[in-house]
Amino acid sequence: MSSESSSESEVKNFTDLNLNDRLHKALDKLEYEMPTPVQAEAIPHTLAGKDLMVNAETGSGKTAAFLLPILQKLVTNQAPNSATRALILLPTRELARQVLKHCNDLMAFTHIKAVVITGGAEFKYQQAMLRKNPEIIIATPGRLVEHLTRNSIDLSDLEILVLDEADRMLDLGFSEDVLRIASASPEQRQTLLYSATLNHKGVRQVASEVLSEPMNLTLNRVQDGHDSIRQQVVLADDIKHKQRLLVRLLEQENAEKTLVFCNTRDQASRLAAVLKYHGLRAAVLHGEMEQDERNRVMDLMRRGQLEVLVATDVAARGLDVKGIELVVNFDMPRSGDDHVHRVGRTGRAGVDGTAISLIKSNEWNLMASIERYLKISFERRLVKGLEGKYKGPKKLKSSGKAASDRKRSESSRKNSSKKDGDKTKQRHRDRKSVGKRRAPSASNQDARSDLGDGFAPLKKRKDKEQDSE
Ligand code: AMP
């Protein structure tokens, strides 16, 4: 049984939350003036001890929404002889490091200790850290299960379990591990599940097993997108044309930091090389890179020493880098949800941002279906001097009508010729699959492996650890 809440919160200011002075001091230092909507809704219920299912995006302030009440509980009810008291499970190493940083900022004036336990780091070193019984563990599920199996972790005192980015975590094939971890922790614990969408089969199933009478907090649906982001499309003829467009757009936008998304590792590496050739401070981030190299690139980006980061979805999942003013889809993402995750890297915490998608003819239908899924219409942008031959589907060109008319044009094309039947079916499937992950095909082998465990069956997850842990 779950109850719903989507009403406007009574909480307007951080002072309404009655948090410990040490936490207020940290909030002042971070210059957080008032709680974001997810914080205003979720913090009071978490402090009241409820199990929660919250649909909140990266960028909404969700991390502090679960960290602040955890810290409040740990500061007010001290238990020096306890083993670990709070465990945050999340899908990727980068997100783990990011949450640790956020946690360290918020608990800067307390004596609480938090550690990160993920793949890609030395097991023995982690065992030594765990022996010190840190109050908070931030972990990816695979490595945590290894510690459970080798008895190097004690969850018997766990008070709060958080499943952060639960949809992503389960897409990566971690549901068995999450269930195993939940069953190793006390039944009377509090469990908080955060996910971009709650309407996800895996999330609902895991929630039914690990949460107890949860309250559903419906804040913003993934389709609501981000109001502070301008979304544009530029039509392109081919990859070379896209490369020229990108270089020109980077000049025109003059953004301090830009994130460019590609669907494959190869494409990302090639593109980063092209951008460097054009004198831009660019680097690539993908799941096959060594963890140290990934960390180094992220640090350069955070410190503003890179202008452009070319990334694949898996590597950039959930990343919170301040000051990304521009996001470019060099390749159109394969689902509406991926699109939202990508463009959400800009326009964070209410700051304006721009997202530009470069569209070749074979990406038009995908773009149109993402528009329908998100109920938005992308603004068409022309790049002077670089206009290509491709101007959109023929029907549209002659009618000159807006995005809402595309549907008719597509359906008339669908009926137009029998010999086009197979292609049409493929397009139709593309539209239907927007908002969902697409099944792999032999031809997108590279793309599939870069998207990591999202496509892999459960038992294959270990092969893809590079991308997920
Ligand atoms: P998150 O959704 O947790 O990834 O947070 C997105 C960004 O918003 C992070 O950079 C946070 O530091 C920032 N943030 C979180 N809460 C607040 C707040 N109440 N006021 C201003 N910024 C915030």
**From ligand 1's centre to the CA of 251, what distance in Å?**
29
pTM above 0.95, yes or no: no
Pocket test for ligand 1, best of 14, 32, 301 (most atoms within 8 A of CB): 32
**From ligand 1's centre to the CA of 407, what distance in Å?**
38
Q: Which two tokens stand for residue 67?
A: 């960290």
DSSP letters for 290-355 = -HHHHHHHHHHHHTT--SEEEE-HHHHTT---TTEEEEEESS--SSHHHHHHHHTTSSGGG--EEE
Ligand 1 close to Cβ of residue 453 (< 6 A):
no
Q: Which residues of 126-138 are buried (b: 16+ CB within 10 A; e: fewer)?
A: beebbeebbbbbb
**From ligand 1's centre to the CA of 358, what distance in Å?**
29
Phi-psi region for residue 234, left (φ > 0), alpha (ψ -120 to 50) or beta?
Answer: beta
Q: Are 334 and 357 in contact (CB under 8 A)?
A: no
The answer for residues whose C-beta is within 8 angstroms of residue 376's C-beta and 6 or more apart is: 225, 231
Q: Please give the span between the terminal C-alpha atoms of the chain, in angstroms, as a whole number.
A: 33
Q: Are 160 and 103 in contact (CB under 8 A)?
A: no
Instruction: Tell me what pLDDT residue 434 has.
Output: 44
The answer for residues whose C-beta is within 8 angstroms of residue 422's C-beta and 6 or more apart is: none
Specify the amino acid at residue 164: D
Instruction: Tell me what pLDDT residue 351 has.
Output: 62
Ligand 1 atom index nearest CA of 59: 2
Ligand 1 close to Cβ of residue 28 (< 6 A):
no
Beta bridge partners of 329: 261, 357
Q: Which two tokens stand for residue 440?
A: 């792999």
Cα–Cα distance measured from residue 359 to residue 364, given in angstroms and rounded to the nearest whole number? 6
Instruction: Tell me what pLDDT residue 383 has.
Output: 92
Residue 327 has, within 13 A of its CA and on its CB side, a CA count of 34
Ligand 1 close to Cβ of residue 349 (< 6 A):
yes
Ligand 1 close to Cβ of residue 174 (< 6 A):
no
Ligand 1 close to Cβ of residue 61 (< 6 A):
yes
Cα–Cα distance measured from residue 168 to residue 197, given in angstroms and rounded to the nearest whole number? 10
Q: How is the beta sheet containing 136-139 ordered, strand by strand?
A: 3-5, 215-218, 52-55, 190-195, 160-163, 86-89, 136-139, 114-117
Instruction: Tell me what pLDDT residue 315 has.
Output: 65
pLDDT in tens, the chain (469 residues): 455 554 456 778 999 999 999 999 999 999 998 898 899 999 999 999 999 999 887 778 899 999 999 999 999 998 888 899 999 999 999 899 999 999 999 999 999 999 999 998 999 999 999 999 999 999 999 999 999 999 999 999 999 999 999 988 998 889 999 999 999 999 999 999 999 878 788 899 999 999 999 999 877 554 455 566 788 999 999 999 999 999 999 999 999 999 999 999 999 999 999 999 999 999 999 888 888 888 899 889 989 999 999 999 876 666 777 888 899 999 999 888 788 878 877 766 556 789 999 999 999 989 998 888 777 888 899 999 999 889 888 765 444 444 444 444 444 434 444 444 444 444 444 444 444 433 333 333 323 223 222 222 222 233 233 233 3
DSSP, collapsed to helix, strand or coil, labels residue 58 as: coil
**From ligand 1's centre to the CA of 405, what distance in Å?**
38
Q: Are 196 and 55 in contact (CB under 8 A)?
A: yes
Instruction: Tell me what pLDDT residue 102 has.
Output: 96
| Residue located nearest, by CA, to atom 15 of ligand 1 | 61
Residue 164, phi then psi, degrees to nearest 5: -95, 140
Specify the amino acid at residue 82: S
DSSP, collapsed to helix, strand or coil, labels residue 286 as: coil
Ligand 1 close to Cβ of residue 60 (< 6 A):
yes
* Secondary structure letter of residue 461 according to DSSP: G
Ligand 1 close to Cβ of residue 348 (< 6 A):
yes
DSSP letters for 387-446 = --S--S-HHHHHHT--GGGHHHHHHHHHHH-GGGHHHHHHHHHHHHTTTSPPPP-GGGHH
Instruction: Tell me what pLDDT residue 418 has.
Output: 40
Cα–Cα distance measured from residue 246 to residue 258, given in angstroms and rounded to the nearest whole number? 11
With vertex at residue 27, the alpha carbon angle to CA 21 and CA 32, rounded to the nearest 5 degrees, is: 145
**From ligand 1's centre to the CA of 330, what distance in Å?**
27
| Residue located nearest, by CA, to atom 11 of ligand 1 | 61
* Secondary structure letter of residue 165 according to DSSP: T
Domain architecture of the chain: domains with CATH: 2-220 (3.40.50.300), 226-380 (3.40.50.300)
Cα–Cα distance measured from residue 118 to residue 90, given in angstroms and rounded to the nearest whole number? 10
Instruction: Tell me what pLDDT residue 50 has.
Output: 96
Ligand 1 close to Cβ of residue 64 (< 6 A):
yes
